[in-house]
Amino acid sequence: MKSKIVSLLLFSLLCQRVKSLSPEEDLEIEEELKRLNKPANQDNSDGVWRHYDCVDFYKQPAFDHPLLKNHSFHFGRSWDQERLSARGINSATIKRLDCPTGTVPIRKTSKELIAAKMQAKVHAQHSGPNTVDVHGLHLAIVRTEFGPLKKYNGGGMFSSVEVPKASGTQYSAGQMKIENIPDFIQAGWMMGNSSCFNVQCPGFILMRSDHPVDAIFKAHSHRGGPVYTYNYFIYLDPTSGLWWLQLGEDSIVVGFRPKKIFSGPGFQDLATYLEWGGQTYSPPEVKSPPMGRGDFLTSDVKLTASCQDITTITEAHERVPPADTQAYSDREKYHWALDRGYLKGPLKHVMLFGGPGGATGWA
């Protein structure tokens, strides 16, 4: 069975299939499909890439946003940073797509995914004290202190790539989050049958012809075996006002989102909060899936899921380990997080997470 791990830029994580739709909702979905599935410049009907189209750069979904109708962005800007030094742990790689120059790989959108997006809005209205935002959403993270005086231009991590079991509409993920309420950006990997809306999030502009945002990893970590990690890095360019996403060992610039696209006032300024770790979702009446490797608390980096070299970008644009962090799990019986702090060597500031799951959104 082929793995369904995907690397995602996540502006909204909750996705849920709808059991039944009204005729009006079905028509709305058909119209949304016409808007999202852009004319392809190349046939990718074979293999892994049959789920993607090579779409003209200027016809990608981001430019449907009214604030980007008269944009001045151009294809072809790509700044690859120097390769990071060997860290004693394998670097995960993705399956790349060779789209023609001037096009970008966009995942084809199905009726099920649009229905999931609609249902997500319903669940978002039924939050409760057992979860941070949504019934059925659970976290095991290391986070910075809350406070409006905290200012960050971004952050990053090397996350181990895991394959926790998730079924139906569940997912289990490793992620980082940058936030200034109400605005936030999340990036990481996800295991599950319901993927989310990455490039179809309003205003995210993909720059690479060979690197989709929701790519499939070639390898993943195993308990007692090799550990594979992948780099996620998000930062604000103060001159252009763009939030950039870099991925992979080479910190490839994949795309960006202009801060003017965010609907709230938060990202008109800098971020004030960051977190790193695990996240799961399951319908409220269904027990949550495992997190990470599904294991119980351990302090061994190579035996459990981890976020390594977690960093923040200061107001002065210095890349530094986070200070005054705290571990948090909303349901410690089922999911756990451990802040190892700053370790000597290439791993630097490390957090670990995992847990067998089994929590519900109601108790």
pTM of the model: 0.78
Tokens linked to 167: 């079924």
Which residues does the chain have with pLDDT short of 70?
Answer: 1-49, 69-88, 109-134, 193-202, 264, 361-363
Q: Could you report the per-residue pLDDT of 343-356, keeping only the tens digit for each?
A: 988 899 999 999 99
Which of 110, 103, 178 has the alpha carbon at shortest distance from 141? Answer: 178
Type of residue numbered 280: T
Tell me how far apart the alpha carbons of residues 297 and 102 are, in angstroms, rounded to a whole number.
Answer: 48
- pLDDT the model gives residue 8: 45
Cβ density class 335-359: b for 16+ within 10 Å, e for less: bbbbbbeeeeeebbbbbbbbbbbeb
Alpha carbon distance 333, 296 (integer Å): 10
3-class DSSP assignment, residue 190? strand
What does the longest C-alpha to C-alpha distance in the chain come to?
Answer: 60
DSSP run (H or E) holding 179: strand 171-180
> What pLDDT sits at residue 154?
94
- pLDDT for position 183: 85
